């Protein structure tokens, strides 16, 4: 089995939901590649940090800049052990790229472990792969999940078959542990 993990994302992804999984999986010995549609190897992505103030929704602040490791057009699901789709605003626009949709569908068709968090479920809904899955997401994405045929639940983390979903970055510990277990590895202390 490949020791490579793909993070499929884009500009304005939630910083924590890209960097924390990337570095955590690297710590476990995985090669973690960042891919984004409409970008080529070496291009930079601008990540963002969302924060809650007194508004009814979150505000967006600049986060880190990271480089793209591989173009989506060069990625093959067979080369990776698993897929991560972070949230933020990136899923809202990367779902418009056929190559991103096809890549998600390829990972699902292969039954590979997939970890999706927050607004990342928007990409899965667009890829029409949620039918029959029990999922969670950032609550504002619940209608899209349900329209895509998923059983959306207001839980922190849900594991269903090859898919682990979480509401937001505060759920990282349980979400990442579940993903690592789906990959067939274990974390022991």
Angle between helices 15-27 and 172-182 (to 10 degrees): 50
- Using CA atoms, how far apart are residues 14 and 25, in angstroms rounded to an integer? 17
172 is catalytic: no
Beta carbons of 49 and 85 less than 8 angstroms apart: no
- Using CA atoms, how far apart are residues 155 and 166, in angstroms rounded to an integer? 8
CB atoms within 10 A of CB 144: 18
Choice among 50, 64, 119, 172 that is catalytic: 119
- Using CA atoms, how far apart are residues 141 and 156, in angstroms rounded to an integer? 14
- Using CA atoms, how far apart are residues 154 and 10, in angstroms rounded to an integer? 26
Q: Which residues are catalytic?
A: 119
């Amino acid at each position: 089995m490949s020791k490579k993990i793909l993070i499929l994302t884009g500009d304005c992804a939630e910083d924590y939901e890209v960097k924390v999984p990337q570095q955590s999986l690297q710590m476990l010995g995985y090669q973690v590649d960042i891919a984004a549609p409409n970008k080529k190897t070496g291009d930079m992505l601008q990540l963002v940090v969302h924060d809650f103030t007194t508004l009814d929704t979150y505000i967006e602040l600049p986060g880190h800049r990271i480089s793209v490791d591989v173009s989506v057009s060069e990625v093959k699901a067979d080369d990776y052990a698993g897929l991560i789709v972070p949230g933020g605003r990136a899923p809202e626009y990367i779902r418009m790229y056929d190559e991103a949709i096809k890549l998600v569908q390829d990972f699902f068709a292969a039954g590979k472990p997939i970890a999706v968090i927050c607004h990342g479920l928007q990409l899965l809904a667009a890829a029409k792969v949620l039918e029959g899955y029990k999922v969670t997401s950032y609550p504002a994405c619940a209608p899209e999940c349900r329209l895509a045929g998923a059983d959306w639940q207001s839980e922190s983390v849900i594991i269903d078959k090859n898919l682990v979903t979480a509401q937001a970055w505060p759920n990282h510990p349980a979400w990442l542990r579940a993903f690592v277990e789906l990959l067939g590895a274990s974390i022991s202390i």
